[in-house]
Structure 1
């Protein structure tokens, strides 16, 4: 290859990479099951159903809150639960941060999408109030 051909290829590659950098990045669809890593010995889970804009929040498989959500703008959602109201921003990697007041010293906890299908837990537990108190 001649130096001129190599030069044209380098310029073309640089131009393509520059154009790709300007393509808007959209957030993924907001649906399915999201889960945290262990935080203070607990796992926080949330499931979102896009058909009726409902959600359920669990801590260690105990249902602690449920309600509805609405999209405010691309990637920003208002969560309206029976126990709490808050906003979340869905990241491009299909994760978001929430705060559970009595976990992680009140610092954000990252939940990552683990499945596009919402998962619901129907097991009855006797200690649900103890887990709901983590939200207060």
Structure 2
């Protein structure tokens, strides 16, 4: 009798784990502020405003690109900026990878969501053009 109970429990546990494994992971919407770790001495931020589908990209608080974005399919977004056009895939943990050509040896940089509210930086800098060259 005890072996039968253990067998039923094992089958039930396997069934529960299979069902949990088949549940699709939901991908959050692209919105708010995203930030990288330090990369070659720079921090990159991107902010996404879902109301008008606009974005702004900053490197060390300097605005280097802005434009619009659109969702192509679930979790895949097309970014249409003044400096660059690219696609990003938002992961279920609300992060994405992006290649900034002149940083991180051309390897992808991970951006993590730091706030659901978009953050805008209005400080004027005189060296913005120098930072924009990192995107070329």
Q: Secondary structure at the match of 2:27?
A: coil
TM-score normalised according to structure 2 size: 0.96
State the aligned residue count: 136
Instruction: Using the TM superposition, give the Cα deviation of residue 2 of structure 1 relative to its aligned residue in structure 2, in angstroms.
Output: 2.4
> Which residue is 2:82 aligned to?
82
Q: Following the alignment from structure 1 to structure 2, what is the Cα–Cα distance between the partners of residues 96 and 22? A: 23
Q: 1:65: how far off? A: 0.3
**2:105 is equivalent to residue 99 of structure 1:** no
Matched, 1:72 2:37: no
Runs (4 or more) in structure 1 with deviation over 2 Å come to: none
How far has the Cα of 1:8 moved from its partner? 0.9
CA deviation profile, 1:8-54 (whole Å, cap 9, x unmatched): 11111110100111111121121110000000000010000111100
Q: Any gaps of 5 or more consecutive residues in structure 2?
A: none
CA deviations over 1:83-107 (Å, ceiling 9, x no partner) = 1000000011111111111111111
Partner SS state of residue 134, structure 1: helix
TM-score normalized with structure 1 length: 0.96
2:54 aligned partner: 54
